[in-house]
Chains A and B, each alone.
Chain A
């Protein structure tokens, strides 16, 4: 069964600290994996996409990794800011013509001053 599991469910860190969010998937065949950021009261917005051949990709203070062998991805946030407080959702696209999306339940990050 195609599934995406995220951990931790929630996380509280102090401003300026780093953190890492995890995403494990059992999706086959795999097409790509995307991390979305959802601010409170807003729709999710894509942060980065990882394809099968990519190991690491950075977008400012956000760095995503992908290990296709272990089917794991991580999102590392460096020098956190208050504006990083949001839910982070991992979404994996199934390969093939249908291309269904499998959503994780998200990690709620709170950055405190």
Chain B
């Protein structure tokens, strides 16, 4: 069984469209994340949710809106897509780091978004 699964794996769309990427984890983790990996392969945090509550919201255009219906799901909705949004988006999950937990990230396989 896939631990962190995201769909779709590939997404090609026109500028100005609205699209969503879905993510689900079956690891029982309480924290989920969205990362953006650009053409230079640098991973940048976008959002982090803990128990359905937003805890990290980096400087991301408000066209990006995360939605967490429950602890196992964190979806990413993007409005009015722009060329610069083309990238690979990774969902990840972890247990909240603490004294006995090192907070290892478990990543999905990525969703490659291409905006034409």
Interface residues of A (CB under 8 A from B): 31-32, 34, 36, 38, 41-46, 49, 51, 87, 89, 91, 93, 99-101, 103, 105-106, 108
**B45 adjacent to A43 (CB under 8 Å):** no
**A93 adjacent to B109 (CB under 8 Å):** no
Q: At the interface, is chain B mostly helix, strand, loop or mixed?
A: loop
**A43 adjacent to B102 (CB under 8 Å):** no
**B102 adjacent to A108 (CB under 8 Å):** no
**Interface 1/0 per residue, B76-116 and A, CB below 8 Å:** 00000000000000101000110000111101111000000
Interface residues of B (CB under 8 A from A): 4, 40-45, 56, 90, 92, 96-97, 102-105, 107-110
CB < 8 Å: which of B4, B41, B45, B110 contacts A105? B41
Q: Provided the pairs A49-B102, A51-B102, A108-B41 are in contact, do residues A43 and B97 lie with their beta carbons within 8 angstroms? A: no
